[in-house]
Every structure is written in C-alpha cells, then in structure tokens.
Structure 1
Amino acid sequence: MGRLIDTSSRLCLRILTLLFWVGAGCLLYAGCCNIKTYRSYQSFFNDRYILIPSCLAVTGTFFLVFNGLLGCCISKKGSRCKQGCFMYFIVVVLCLEASAGVLTFVYMDRMDLELNPMLKAFENYNGSKSDLTVDNIQKELHCCGLHNYTDWETTLWYKQNFTIPKTCCNETFTSCNGNITETKEFYQEGCFEKLHSRLNYFMTWLFWSCIAVLIAQVLAAIGDGMLMIRNPFQDFRILDSATFT
C-alpha cells in the first residue's frame, strides 16, 4: 500500500510539473501583454499601480519554471533536500499568484476609474507631439473618438479645424481627409471600449491563470507532503528509546 501511494504521488508530481510550465507560459503571456499595453498608452491610465498584479505574476513564472525542474527530479528519485526546497518554492508561488489574482480582480472591477485620464486626453487634443498617444491608439486599435467619431464634434480641435484627426480614417479609404461628412470612411468603434476590452481580456486571462496555478500548487504540495511522510527529514525514533524515559 505504501509503495502504491509513493508511486501515485510521484506520478501526480510529474504531471503537475508539466502544468507548472504551461501555467508559467500563460502567466508570462498575459502579464507581458498587460505591461506592453500600459507602456504604449500610459498617459491614459490613472496610476502605474495597475502593473502590480502583472509584475507579481511574471515574477512568479520564474519560480514556477524552477519548481517544475525540482518537481521532475523529485518524481524520479526522492531527495529530502529537494523535497524541502520544492515545498518552500510552492509557498513562494502561492503568495505571489494569490496576491496577483486578488489584485487583478480588484483592478478589473475598477477599470473605468483607471482609464479616466483618457477622457481628458481626447478632450484636450490639439495635434501636438504630446497628443501622439491619441493618434497612436486610433491607428493601432482601429478606433475613433472615445465612443465613436461623433465625440470629436465637441472638442476644441474640431471647432478650430472643422475636421477630425486623420488617424480616424479607415486605412482602406486612401482619400479620407477627416471631413465629418465622410462617416463611412471612419473607424466606427470608440477607443475607450477598445482599450477597455483589450485590458479586460488580458486581465481575465491573468486572473484565471493565477487560479489554475494555485490549484496545481496546492495539489503539488499534497503530493510532496505524501512523499515527505514516506521519507521524512529526520528520524526521531530515538526519542522513543529508554534514554529519554
């Protein structure tokens, strides 16, 4: 019975360590995409603290990869030292990914508040170099205005030029010059919804990746615990001898 438990624990660890690497890849992808989005449009965000969950998740991926290597070693041949290190890094990853998951959930709930500066950026647009972020987001995300192209009609830029920025023009219409009457030649979706959806997508990916990694870590801790019971760090049977009675 004992050998069956030992074999089952090692097999589970081998499978879970593979899941560690898959989880690390998912976390790295979502975290890096969030960081890249922030760096591209950082003037639209309320503060940089929205990067904290992504940074925690990305940091956790390095421990996940290393722990996966340890798990492979343990699943083949038991080692008291490796078992202890494996359990220690599980605790580290649990702390990092649990914090990342909770913070990601919080920021997903307050995304509208985080993107408040975006409203002022569009309202105060004047075509200068400081407004490149507005032009970039319209070109890169294929959007126009905050909610649609009609938002530009209330801005100072439109009142002065009687046109909307050419970055609103759909690339398929080469003759578009920003004339408000050429509505079919503009991108129809607003930039606020586009950026909000983009962030929400990567945040959701990050959140569920954290949950999956946490579950895998707990299961790995149970498997490692079973092996540690079978192969403890110290043999305290000497305490049962007549010397201590």
Structure 2
Amino acid sequence: MSCAPWFTGVILLGVGVWGKVSLEVYFSLLNEQGTKVPYVLIGTGTVIILLGTFGCFATCRGSTWMLKLYAMFLTIIFLVELVAAIVGFVFRHEIKSSFKMSYKKAQDDYRDPPDASSKAVDTIQRKLHCCGVNNFTDWASSQYFRENGLPHSCCKFANCTKDELKNMTVAEGKVFNQGCFASVTTVMESNMGVVAGISFGIACFQLIGIFLACCLSRYITNNQYEMV
C-alpha cells in the first residue's frame, strides 16, 4: 500500500502531458511563464513516481528510516500542492484579468506572417469559433485591421474576401460574433474543474501513503523492540 502514490504520479504525469497537448495555447497567452505550467505538472508527476518507487523499495526492505524519509518527502509535496491550489483559487480573478490583457496585446500586435502569439490567437479563434476579445469589433483598433481587415481565422466560412473583412458591417454576417475571452474562460474553467478533481484524488492518495508509511514504520520498530 505504500506504493499507492506511484499511481498518483502516473496520473499527474498524464495530466501534464494532456495539458501540454490540449491547453498549451491558452497557457502561452496567460503570461510569459504560462508555457511552463504543463512541464511543472510533468516534473511533479515524475518526482512522485520516483518517490513511489522509493516507497515500494523501503516497504520491501522493511527500513524504518527509509519509510520516514519517504513520508517526509510526500508531506512536503502535499504541502506545496496545497499552497499552489490555495494561491490559484485566491488569485483566479487576477489570472483571468492577466489573460485578457495578454490576449488584447497579442491581438494588437497581430501580424502576418504570424509569430507565436499571432498563431495562438488564430488557433483559439478557429477552435472556439470566436473573434476578438469581447467581440469582432475589437479588431478595429488594431494596426492589422487598418491594413488588412479582420484575420481569416475569424471567418465562419472559407470564402471570406479581403474586402468583406475590411468592412465591419459586411463582416458581421461572415465572421464569428462571440468574443474569445468568454469562450476561453469557459473552456479553461471546465478543464480546470477536471484537473481540480484529479488533484483532490491525488492529494487523498498522498495522505493515505503518508499515513501507511508512518504506521508501517511504527509497526516495524515495535516488532524490533519485541524481538530484543
């Protein structure tokens, strides 16, 4: 049973890989450190897997000091995860505000050929069927619109012409009217709900691992005293 946290490490590693594949485009616009979030999850999962292996080895050897060390490391990781969850919950509105400002900046700096942030904007607009921060008229203040009109990633259909994209009145029936900020926050909140549920399960398994490691260490110690 002291090997249970090994499975939580595998789950956390899987969540990190999933975040890297599915949510990186959103993290990349959150802030300059956003792209590192999936790697943090992957790294944490890997560490927990290694600790789980260490815990299994300690259990097989019946070593009390190794079990205590294992429980101590699990406790530290649990506390770090708890602090991170509290910070994320307390500053959730600031995170949304930061994303909105970053998305607005990426929109204002949009260029063709696209750079990394412009590609992220295009991906979000195509994937979520949205255009602009609050709606498609937000593009009117950008340098790109003054020169080229709305980007093609805003189009509902593939046959939008440049002249149509330069005219806001005509473009209204050709492009997505939903703003991307509302769409992104909805997607992220739904996905974060899944992550929160998985994280809660992982925390429970870690607490079980800590409890069992301490109990096993005490049991081995008591048996050693009885043998003496």
- Fold shared by both chains (TM-score > 0.5): yes
Q: Could you say which residue in structure 2 is the equivalent of 1:231?
A: 220
Residues 76-115 of structure 1 mapped to structure 2, 5 A cutoff? 77=60, 79-80=62-63, 82-115=66-99
**Which amino acid letter does the alignment assign opposite residue 109 of structure 1?**
H
- The answer on 1:27 being equivalent to 2:16 is no
**Which amino acid letter does the alignment assign opposite residue 176 of structure 1?**
C
- Residue by residue over 1:183-218, the C-alpha shift from the partner in whole angstroms, topping out at 9 and shown as x without a partner, is 444234322223333433444444443332222222
Sort the Cα spacing of 1:202 and 1:225 in 2 relative to 1 into closer, same or farther, 3 A: same
Q: Could you say which residue in structure 2 is the equivalent of 1:152?
A: 139
Residues 203-222 of structure 1 mapped to structure 2, 5 A cutoff? 203-222=192-211
Structure 2: how far apart are the matches of 1:42 and 1:72? Answer: 35
**Which amino acid letter does the alignment assign opposite residue 202 of structure 2?**
V
CA shift for structure 1 position 235: 5.5
Structure 2: how far apart are the matches of 1:60 and 1:73? Answer: 20
Bigger Rg over Cα: 1
* C-alpha contact (below 8 Å) 2:24/2:35 kept by paired residues: no
Q: Could you say which residue in structure 2 is the equivalent of 1:45?
A: 30
Q: Could you say which residue in structure 1 is the equivalent of 2:180?
A: 191
Structure 2: how far apart are the matches of 1:203 and 1:213? Answer: 15
SS of the equivalent of 1:232 reads: helix
- Percent identity over the alignment is 19
**Which amino acid letter does the alignment assign opposite residue 168 of structure 1?**
C
SS of the equivalent of 1:151 reads: helix
**Which amino acid letter does the alignment assign opposite residue 159 of structure 2?**
S
Sort the Cα spacing of 1:47 and 1:203 in 2 relative to 1 into closer, same or farther, 3 A: farther
Q: Could you say which residue in structure 1 is the equivalent of 2:153?
A: 167
Sort the Cα spacing of 1:41 and 1:219 in 2 relative to 1 into closer, same or farther, 3 A: closer
SS of the equivalent of 2:132 reads: coil
Q: Could you say which residue in structure 1 is the equivalent of 2:107?
A: 122
**Between Structure 1 and Structure 2, how many residues are aligned?**
219
SS of the equivalent of 1:117 reads: helix
SS of the equivalent of 1:216 reads: helix
Q: TM-score, normalised by structure 2?
A: 0.71
* C-alpha contact (below 8 Å) 2:131/2:178 kept by paired residues: yes
SS of the equivalent of 1:90 reads: helix
SS of the equivalent of 1:186 reads: coil
SS of the equivalent of 2:130 reads: coil
- Residue by residue over 1:14-41, the C-alpha shift from the partner in whole angstroms, topping out at 9 and shown as x without a partner, is 6x71x641x3344234434545677646
- The answer on 1:66 being equivalent to 2:50 is yes
SS of the equivalent of 1:144 reads: coil
CA RMSD of aligned residues (A): 3.8
* C-alpha contact (below 8 Å) 1:166/1:176 kept by paired residues: yes
